[in-house]
Amino acid sequence: MNENPIRVRVPESSAAFLNGTGLVGAMDAQGLSASRVPAGCNPLLDGLLSEAPAAWSDELELVTLTPGETLTPAGASPTHIVFPMGGLISLLVRSGPAANAEVEVAMVGRHDLVGAAALLGAEPSAHRAVVQVGGSAYRAPAASVRRLIETVPAIRSLLLRYVRMSLEEAYQLAACNSRHSLEKRLCRWLLQAHQRLESDTLPFTHDHIAQMLGVRRASVTVALHIIEGERLIRSTRGRVDLLDRARLQMAACECCGAIAHNRRSFSFGPAEAADRGAPACVPC
């Protein structure tokens, strides 16, 4: 495995788990991992490290993301920029006072970061970032990353291009949610979840999908049954298996292709970082 020349802080609570994976080695006296950041775990982080490796010295910490964990509450400024190596995080915005009034406005995986609002300043964020599927991640203090943005042009350029890509994706999803049928939106959502998790098995209930899409559970159940009848998926208790991604993409709305094009046009940095981190399938 290729490595980036950066030392990483590892909390003692994570050391045993991470040593078991081979990602890090023994801890030194200062609590720093003696090994380096493994390349390919998060292509965006790869690009940032390739642009200015020395700038990240001692800034990164290896953490575990737990399902249900809130990384940033709504109304607070993100304290850290988080680079997932796996799992899935939802950015949720509240649309009313009801307990189930939160809807998903973005889906974050290992090709992304959490805390983009903090790149632009320390003002509170309107959304909540919550872990849906657990995994490991690197994180850096938001204030430190803002200092790097101010002092290292290559880091500033890459992160601002990522923010622009995220905004374009948000615009497309806003149009999608207002114009397209639930069935098409559901196909698009399943493909997005597949791309973030890089798995054909999605560990989500009908209730969860309904909340993410901002619709009634019964409506999601009907839509899933229709898609399942076409043998595109198999829906069982607490999971959805994708059986035919190519046909599922054809059943999705045009926004799926537009989002895919937007993501493919984004460069993570040097060509080798982008190539190394390219996903096997980027439907949307």
> What does the pLDDT look like over 20-74, one tens digit per residue?
333 333 333 333 343 477 888 999 999 999 888 888 878 999 999 999 999 999 9
Residue 8 pLDDT level (bands cut at 50, 70, 90): low
Domain span including residue 39: 3-163
Q: Residue 154 sits in a domain of what CATH number?
A: 2.60.120.10
Q: Is it the case that residue 211 has pLDDT exceeding 70? A: yes
Domain boundary among 136, 163, 190: 163
> Do 34 and 147 fall within a single domain?
yes
> Do 14 and 127 fall within a single domain?
yes
Give the whole-angstrom CA distance, residue 188 versus residue 59: 36
> Do 153 and 189 fall within a single domain?
no
> Do 152 and 16 fall within a single domain?
yes
Q: What is the mean pLDDT of residues 229-252?
A: 96
Nearest to 61 by CA among 178, 152, 139: 139
Mean residue pLDDT of the chain comes to 84
Percent of the chain's residues with pLDDT above 90: 68
Residue 4 pLDDT level (bands cut at 50, 70, 90): low
Q: Is it the case that residue 249 has pLDDT exceeding 90? A: yes
**Residue 274, domain member (yes or no):** no
HSE-CB at 185 with a 13 A cutoff on CA atoms is 21
> Do 158 and 190 fall within a single domain?
no
CB within 8 Å of 73: residues ≥ 6 apart: 128
**Residue 94, domain member (yes or no):** yes
Whole-structure pTM value: 0.83
Q: Is it the case that residue 2 has pLDDT exceeding 60? A: no
**Residue 273, domain member (yes or no):** no
**Residue 168, domain member (yes or no):** no
> Do 135 and 36 fall within a single domain?
yes
* pLDDT at residue 204 in the model: 97
**Residue 211, domain member (yes or no):** yes
Q: Is it the case that residue 92 has pLDDT exceeding 80? A: yes
Q: List the structure tokens of 66.
A: 């737990």
> Do 14 and 123 fall within a single domain?
yes
Q: What is the mean pLDDT of residues 5-10?
A: 53
Q: Residue 203 sits in a domain of what CATH number?
A: 1.10.10.10
Reported as a single tens digit per residue, the pLDDT across 135-185 is 999 999 999 999 999 999 999 999 999 999 999 999 999 999 999 999 999
Question: What domain count does the chain have?
Answer: 2
> Do 159 and 205 fall within a single domain?
no
Torsions phi, psi for 43 (to 5 deg): -60, -30
40 against 91, higher pLDDT: 91
Q: Is it the case that residue 277 has pLDDT exceeding 60? A: no
191-227: b or e for each residue (b if 16 or more CB lie within 10 Å)? bbbbbbbeebebebebebbbbbbbbeeeebeebbeeb
**Residue 146, domain member (yes or no):** yes
> Do 95 and 229 fall within a single domain?
no
